Structure 1
Amino acid sequence: MKAVSYDRFGGPEVLHYLDLPDPTPGAGQLLIQTIAVGVNFPDIRERLGVYNKAETRVGGVQLPQVGGLAVAGTVVATGPQTSVPVGSRVVALMKKGAYAQVAVAEEPLCAVVDEDADLRVLAGFAAQAACAHLLLQASTTLRTGESLLVHGAAGGVGGLAVQIAKVLGAKPIIGTASTSERREFVRALGADAAISYDEPGWTDQVLELTSGRGVDVLIESIGGEVFEQNFDALAPFGRYLLLGSSRGPGEPFAPRRLMTKSQALIGFYLPVFYDRPELIGNALRFLTDGLKTGQITSQVDEVLPLNQAAEAHRRLEGREVRGVIVLDPTIES
């Protein structure tokens, strides 16, 4: 099979398109002929060696590696103890190995999809949608009528969190974004309001939108000074979901302050959920159903051949992609 692998950390130039032996599915595994491969920021962080730094505390990766964590395609072989028939079309997540013409996935990390499903969309959004769904239905349970604040709501995970929350009946749903254009996009996704976290007094806007109470659930991806400000926007019994810190970790946090309003601070890291594969499978099925009914919308910005994975990484790192970028192993450049 053709695959994209790297044997050292660095820029996109370390990615090599080469021939590797086809993998063999083991017990509980499916062998998937990939039709579409999602490109995600964790792929880039792995390639850079970010996860191999001691301070990230997430274990790292072993080299050489075929990277990537999301595919969609056709099942061409199965291992023992599986129930999905050969010939089924599936979307799947995996810890590694997606950047290839053939990939192995654990069956519980897959969702069977209809013959007419858009595999490029599914592969492109699978990881982001899984994160959003797991945040709202596994790390916590967002209930009908509860309020939600999503930072970075114009981004991949944030935008899907807005749409999923809408399906779940949350209200109000408040998104933050950095520009007026991106805030308009957030409202178009279904948010009841979109604000800027860089404006003085933005937490007052949140309180006004929630009748002075604050939000029940908050998804944090900014960090820095915004981390501290968020507590002014969080309701009693509120759940604060920590997804990322694009501005850095900020000042040290005293955990006992959570006691004053019986609040919870919950960390999130997708690979941990591979130990609970049924939750990822549920998330993928939710995405599949939402796309089918039109409750979840999506945009594939560009499709490139698999052998242009390095270029896909360059464009994603350069913030040149509005939706998602997908690799197609079935086409040549």
Structure 2
Amino acid sequence: MRAIDIKGGKGPVSSLFLSSEIPKPVPAAGQALVRVKFFGINRMDLTQRAGLYQVPPQAGPILGVEFSGVIEELHERSNANSDEYFKAGDEVFGLAYGGAYAEYVAVSTLMLIHKSQEIPWEVAAGIPEVWVTAIQAMELIGGFSPGKSILWHAGASSVSIAGIQLSKALGASAIYATVGSQEKVDLCRSLGATTVWNYRESNWEQEVSKITNDKGVDIIIDFVGQNYFQMNLNSAGKDGRVVIVGMLSGAKISGKDIDLSPFVTKRLRVEGSRLRGRDLEYQRVLRDMLVNDALPGFIDGKFQVPIEKVFDWRDIQGAHSLMESNTIKGKIICKVT
């Protein structure tokens, strides 16, 4: 089959190319073979391409974890452990451990979702990874419940775009976000954020203190890492939770004077997570939460999946270059042609 490959196994954007010599996957027990129509680009793909990502053993060398497509065939035992029935010809979207940058991907039926006609193919391909990640960070780890306040860093990233909408739908008392441009401020406000700060123009830590009367925020979802670590501790409220799901500014904070007293005085919990390394049963729970909490919103139009650009997959280098620019507001999607 055809698939996007990497010259030498890892490298810069220029190492990506469309190969026609990739073995077509064969579905194992519990899996379906899906003919891919669209796939989503995620930041982890860039890290994996560069050889800096610890890929789970079941992922394989082909990039990509989210897709939409049509079931081509199923292993005879594929529906044995599933609450839903799948068959050849079903239109689906879903989450895989890897291999979505291809004409075909083999994936567990536990991670597939039937695609409603109201959801366009390109939109469906941009849902699974980011919305499941947002649900995991906010609900499973962050312990969200109605009435809590929440702060989403990198507010115009796809995960935070999902998270802001979920926070509003599930009854957050206040939804804060940090971004790097006025365009992104406007986007987050349009999605339901109550207050958005451009970190290039204001000190969001001081603004959090001011707007909350020094009480802080119940849940902080952070993609930045090093530069925001102390500020997150200072901005969290009593019994607050800081969830670290990215490290865009770096992972090491050595050489800095970190004040750990907020851990004790505010009884904070700081926890990190990476979704892709989780086992199938854990991911299945999140998939079910996505179906129950969010799928109706995609069907009736309440939830948006902003798409920055749809690329022909032959221009995969352009798609990765745009992701690396850090200027996007939403998903980058590729069409398999």
Distance 2:140 2:234 in 1: 25
User: Which residue is 2:273 aligned to?
Assistant: 268
Moved more, 307-316 or 194-203: 194-203
Structure 2 CA distance for aligned equivalents of residues 194 and 63 of structure 1 = 37
Superposed, 1:190-201 pairs within 5 Å as 190-198=192-200, 201=203
Q: For residues 47 and 62 of structure 1, what CA distance do their matches in structure 2 show?
A: 17
Deviates more, 1:197-206 or 1:92-101: 197-206
Q: 1:171 to 1:100 in 2, by over 3 A?
A: same
Q: 1:185 to 1:295 in 2, by over 3 A?
A: same
Q: Which residue of 1 aligns with 2:13?
A: 12
Q: Corresponding residue for 1:245?
A: 247
Number of aligned residue pairs: give it: 324
Aligned 8 A contact 2:234 2:262 in 1: no
Shift of 1:170: 0.5
DSSP 3-state at the match of 1:35: strand
Amino acid at match of 1:282: D
Moved more, 145-154 or 290-299: 290-299
Question: RMSD between aligned alpha carbons?
Answer: 2.3
1:44-94 Cα shifts (integer Å, max 9, x gaps) = 11000111xxxxxx4577998211111111112111141312221111111
- Find the counterpart in structure 1 of residue 110 from structure 2: 108
**Aligned position for 1:23:** 25
CA distance in 2, matches of 1:207, 1:85: 54
| Segment of structure 1 superposing worse, 34-43 or 241-250 | 241-250
Q: Distance in 2 between matches of 1:212 and 1:237?
A: 14
Aligned to 2:297: 290
In 2: Cα distance, 1:148 partner to 1:159 partner: 13
Matched, 1:281 2:282: no
2:209 & 2:134 partners in 1: Cα distance?
24
**Structure-2 residue corresponding to 1:54:** none
Q: What fraction of aligned residue pairs are identical, expressed as a percent?
A: 24
Rate the CA distance shift 1:290–1:64 in 2: closer, same or farther, 3 A. Answer: closer
The aligned residue for residue 311 of structure 1 is 318
- How far 1:130 moved relative to its partner? 1.5
Contact conserved, 1:74 with 1:89, CA < 8 A, in 2? yes
Instruction: Provide the rounded CA distance (Å) in 2 between the counterparts of 1:159 and 1:146.
Output: 18
Aligned partners of 2:279, 2:112: CA distance in 1, in Å?
A: 12
Residue 322 in structure 1 maps to residue 322 in structure 2: no
> Which piece of structure 1 moves more, 140-149 or 61-70?
61-70
The alpha-carbon distance between structure 1 residues 246 and 98, as it changes in their structure 2 partners (threshold 3 A), is: same
Q: Which runs of 5+ in 2 are unaligned?
A: 80-84
TM-score w.r.t. length of structure 1: 0.89
Q: Return the offset for 1:17.
A: 1.4
Deviates more, 1:233-242 or 1:317-326: 317-326
Q: Does 1:68 align with 2:73?
A: no
Q: 1:290–1:141: structure 2 CA closer, same or farther, 3 Å change rule? A: farther
Instruction: Report the equivalent of 1:89.
Output: 91
**What are the equivalent positions in structure 2 for 1:154-169 lying under 5 Å apart?**
154-169=156-171
TM-fit CA distance, 1:254: 7.3
CA distance in 2 between partners of 1:227 and 1:274 (Å): 28
Structure 1 segments, 4+ long, off by >4 Å, are: 59-64, 198-201, 252-257
Provide the residue aligned with 1:208 in structure 2: 210
TM-score by length of 2: 0.88
Q: Partners of 1:260 and 1:301 in 2: how far apart?
A: 42
* Structure 1, unaligned runs of 5 or more: 52-57
Report the 3-state secondary structure (helix = DSSP H, G, I; strand = E; otherwise coil) of the residue aligned with 2:127: helix
Answer with 150-159 or 17-26: which moved more: 17-26
Q: Is contact 2:67–2:100 with CA below 8 Å preserved after alignment?
A: yes
- Provide, for residues 7-55 of structure 1, a one-character-per-residue CA deviation record: whole Å limited to 9, x for no partner: 421112222312233211111111111111111111111000111xxxx
Change (3 A) 1:171 1:317: same
* 1:111–1:284 contact (8 Å) kept in structure 2: no
Shift of 1:188: 1.0
- TM-superposed CA distance for 1:224, in Å, is 3.2
Q: Tell me the CA shift for residue 162 of structure 1.
A: 0.7
